[in-house]
């Protein structure tokens, strides 16, 4: 958890930083490292959320892996987060992330049901589609430096909480006679 709302000036940069980290699933830093390079998971992703009403933000990273690879996967995540915060972002990856994210937003608003959901949420918060349009404009204007600064401000790899879920007990193979 971190102190952030969805209308904070740094939030859009955090959204794009997350998109590069793992929000773009396969074409992301976590996807490249954990799935393509190390072959530890068929799927890995990250998501960032911030409340519209409270100062409550979060970053979540999820992956499915063989239990014997759990420590390796956790180490990869830690290393990628540290590398991202240390090295920052390239202009090219920020531009591609902005394009990909904005295209996904446009597609997400293209169905009647999805648009009705967006409008309902906006109305509940006493907002209009102008709020969404402003968010898109802010994303279009982002620089790699802004994205890097927002990630450094809100993401601390040392505060990462790792939760493992699954059936970890080894079961003997049954013998058919």
pLDDT tens digits, one per residue of 39-51: 998 889 999 999 9
Name the residue range of residue 48's domain: 11-159
Tell whether 122 is covered by a domain. Answer: yes
Cβ proximity of 85 and 62 under 8 Å: no
Q: What is the pLDDT of residues 71-92, one digit of tens each?
A: 999 999 999 999 999 999 999 9
pTM: 0.89
Tell whether 2 is covered by a domain. Answer: no
Rg (CA), the chain: 19
The total number of structural domains that make up the chain = 1
User: What is the average pLDDT value for the chain, to the nearest integer?
Assistant: 91
Residue 117 vs residue 177, higher pLDDT? 117
pLDDT at 175: 55
Taking Cα atoms as reference points, which of 76, 60, 87 lies closest to residue 160? 60
CATH of the domain at 85: 3.30.830.10
- For the chain, percent of residues with pLDDT exceeding 90: 79
CB atoms within 10 A of CB 121: 11
Q: What is the pLDDT of residues 80-123, one digit of tens each?
A: 999 999 999 999 999 999 999 999 999 989 999 999 999 999 99
């Amino acid at each position: 958890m971190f102190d952030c709302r969805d209308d904070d000036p740094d939030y859009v940069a955090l959204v794009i930083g997350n998109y590069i980290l793992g929000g773009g699933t396969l074409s992301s830093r976590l996807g490249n490292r954990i799935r393509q390079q190390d072959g530890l998971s068929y799927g890995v992703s990250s998501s960032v959320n911030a409340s519209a009403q409270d100062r409550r933000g979060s970053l979540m990273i999820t992956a499915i892996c063989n239990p014997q690879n759990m420590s390796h996967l956790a180490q990869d995540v830690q290393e990628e987060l540290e590398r991202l915060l240390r090295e920052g972002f390239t202009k090219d990856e920020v531009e591609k992330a902005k394009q990909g994210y904005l295209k996904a937003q446009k597609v997400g608003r293209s169905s009647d049901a999805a648009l009705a959901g967006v409008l309902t949420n906006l109305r509940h918060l006493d907002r209009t589609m102008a709020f969404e349009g402003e968010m898109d404009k802010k994303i279009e204007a982002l620089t790699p430096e802004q994205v890097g600064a927002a990630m450094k401000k809100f993401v601390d790899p040392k505060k990462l909480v790792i939760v493992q879920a699954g059936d970890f007990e080894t079961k003997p193979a049954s013998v058919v006679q």
